[in-house]
């Protein structure tokens, strides 16, 4: 797993002060809540507009497009075929073949709709879930990944 500083450097390359972060998830399904938990842990002082879209990011397309972001970072629990808690930053163009989101179609569908409405660089920050059991909380590996991402975004904000 990357350190917060390593991930922050990579995030600083894709995020500008006018970027948007779209967090997806369902807290009722264990590790699927990772994106939502990240959205809630991010301080309002960060330079980016953060959207906590729960399981319906498509319902936020109008709001996201309205802020005209320079780039969009989508944070979601996805099947990366990797150990639980793995965090991977992937450009939207490279997500073909990525596993589906844990709560619906692959993030590629949302990112394609966004591209049609507002062409800009789009990225996925995927977190490999361990458990999607209804009513369970985050597993230890995913909770650690959530903290890593939150710390990395705070560090990246210092470069924005």
Q: What are the strands, taking DSSP E only, across 65-132?
A: 72-77, 87-91, 122-127
pLDDT value, residue 98: 45
CATH label, 4-157, candidates 3.40.50.1450, 3.30.70.20, 2.60.40.10, 3.10.300.10: 3.40.50.1450
Structure confidence by residue, pLDDT tens digits, 10-69: 999 999 999 999 999 999 999 999 999 999 999 999 999 999 999 889 899 999 999 999
| Domain ranges across the chain | 4-157
Tokens of 119: 């062409």
pTM: 0.91
Q: In this predicted structure, which of 26-35, 97-106, 141-150 has the lowest mean pLDDT?
A: 97-106
Of the candidates 17, 16, 15, 39, which has an alpha carbon nearest to the alpha carbon of residue 26?
A: 39
């Amino acid at each position: 797993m990357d350190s917060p500083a390593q991930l922050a450097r990579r995030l600083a390359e894709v995020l500008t002060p006018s970027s948007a972060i779209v967090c997806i998830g369902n807290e009722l399904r264990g590790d699927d809540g990772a994106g939502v938990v990240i959205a809630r842990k991010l301080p309002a002082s960060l330079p980016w507009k953060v959207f906590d879209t729960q399981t319906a990011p498509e319902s936020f397309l109008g709001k996201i497009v309205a802020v005209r972001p320079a780039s969009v970072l989508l944070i979601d629990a996805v099947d990366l075929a990797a150990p639980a808690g793995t965090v991977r930053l992937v450009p939207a163009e490279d997500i073909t073949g990525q596993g589906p989101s844990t709560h619906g179609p692959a993030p590629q569908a949302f990112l394609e709709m966004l591209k049609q409405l507002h062409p800009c660089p789009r990225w996925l920050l995927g977190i490999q879930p361990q458990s999607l059991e209804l009513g369970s909380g985050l597993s230890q590996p995913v909770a650690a990944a959530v903290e890593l991402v939150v710390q990395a975004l705070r560090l990246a904000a210092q470069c924005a």
